[in-house]
Amino acid sequence: MPARVVMDILGHSQISLTLGTYSHVVPELAQEAAERMGSALWG
Q: What average pLDDT does the structure give for the chain?
A: 90
pTM (2 decimals)? 0.53
Q: Range of 11's domain?
A: 3-42
Give, in degrees to the nearest 5, the angle at Cα 18 between 16 and 20: 65
Segment 11-40 mean pLDDT: 89
**Residue 38: its pLDDT value, please?**
93
**Number of domains the chain is built from:** 1
Write the single-letter amino acid at 32: E
Cα–chain center distance at 33:
11
